Amino acid sequence: MKQAVYLDYAATTPMNKAVIEEMNRIMLDYFGNPSSIHQFGRKSHFELEEARSVIANSINAKSDEIIFHSGGTEGDNTILLGVARALKEKGQHIITTNVEHSAVLKPLAILEKEGFEITYLPVDESGGITLEQVESVVREDTILVSVMYGNNEVGSINPIADIGEYLADKQALFHTDAVQAFGTEVIDVRKLNVDYLTVSAHKIYGPKGVGFSYLSSNVLAPILIVGGDQEEKKRGGTENLAGICGLAKAVDLLKPEEKEQAKADYKIYQDIILRELEDAGIDHQVNGGLEYKLAHILNLWIKGIDNQILLSRLDMSGFAVSTGSACSSGTVRASRVLQAMYGEDSLAPAQSIRISFGQGLTCDTIQTFASNLVEQILAIGNK
C-alpha cells in the first residue's frame, strides 16, 4: 500500500525531528525540578529560562511576559476568565466574533452565565471582521476584546494591528488567539498592540500538551491554575520542561524567512489544486476567498458533493483532509464557521472540505492529490 499523505496540518502537525531530539536531550539530562535550588534544579531552571528567552525574542516580547501552560485552550481560558473576573468592577462588557475557536467561545459562555454581556461580531462571507465593527460596539464598560488572528477553518486573517491601535487608549484589554496563525505569520506583539496572545506547540511541529501565552507587562496577569509559585506565581504546577524546550526549538526553527518561504510554497500548492478543479469543470468555491488569509489553509465548497462521502473516499485513496475543526472529539457536525459566513440554510457546511498544508509536502504530491480529488468528485457526481 502506498504511503498515506497528510493534508490536515491545521488540525495538528507532526513533530520536527530536531524538536524530538531536543526533548530527548532534556529528558535524559535535566530531570531536576526547575524550582529546586540545588544544582539539578538550577540546571533545569537555566534551560527553562533559555526557552522562555527564545520564545520572547521571536515575538519581540520580554522574557517575563511569557508564561508556559498546557496549550492554547488553557491559555485562552486563563486570559478570558481571569481578566473578566478581575476587572468586573470596571465593566462587564466583552467583545468577540462569532467564529472564534471553542477555547474562546466556551469560557465566554461561562462568563455570560455569571452576568457578563458578550457582543459577538458577525463575519461576512470573507470569514473575518473589520475595525469599523469593533469601533461601533466598544463602550465605556467594555473590559476585554478577543479576536482570533487567523481562523482555523477558512484561514481568514483579522485586522489585529488596526484593532490594537484603536484600543490602545481605551479601557478594554485586547487578546488574540494566534494558535493557527503563528506557524506562517511573522508576529510582533509591539506592532500588534495586543495585551495578550496565545500559541500552542502542536500547530508548529512541536509536542502536544504545551503552549505559551504573552501577557503584556503593562496589564494585569490573569491566573487560573493555582498551586505552587511557578511561572512567577502566574501558573501553578511544575513546568513540563521537555515539552517547553521542544516548543522553544519549534519556535526557533520557524525563522521569518522560513515562514515566508512556506507561504510561497503553499500558494503554489493552492494554485495546483484550483487549476485542476477548474480544468475539470468542477463547480467549486473557495470559502473565505483567496485574499488576506492564512496560506496553509484552503477551504473548498465542492457544489453538490457530500463532504463526508468525499472525505471517506479521499481517505481510502490515501489522502487525509478534514471538514473543519478537529476539536469535536471525533464527532461530525456542521461547521459553525461556515454557517456564520453563509447562514444556517446554506449547503456550504455539508459540501466543504478543508485542505491544509505543511512541511514535507511537494508539488508532485499536491499534483497527485489534486488529480485524485477531481477523480473522486467526478465519481460521486459533481454537476
Specify whether the CB–CB gap between 253 and 201 falls below 8 A: no
* 327 is an active site residue: yes
Separation of alpha carbons 77 and 104, rounded Å: 7
According to DSSP, residue 383 is labeled -
Kindly list the distances between the CA atom of residue 59 and the CA atoms of 10, 53, 312, in Å, as whole numbers in the listed order: 21, 10, 39
E-strand ranges in 46-121 read 66-69, 93-97, 117-121
Separation of alpha carbons 235 and 197, rounded Å: 16
Cell numbers describing residue 143? 473590559
Catalytic residue among 110, 264, 327, 332: 327
SS3 of 195, please?
coil
Separation of alpha carbons 231 and 225, rounded Å: 11
Specify whether the CB–CB gap between 104 and 148 falls below 8 A: yes
Residue type, 68: F
Q: What is the dihedral of CA 36, 214, 204, 34, to 10 degrees?
A: 0
SS3 of 332, please?
coil
Give the residue numbers annotated as catalytic, written as ranges: 327
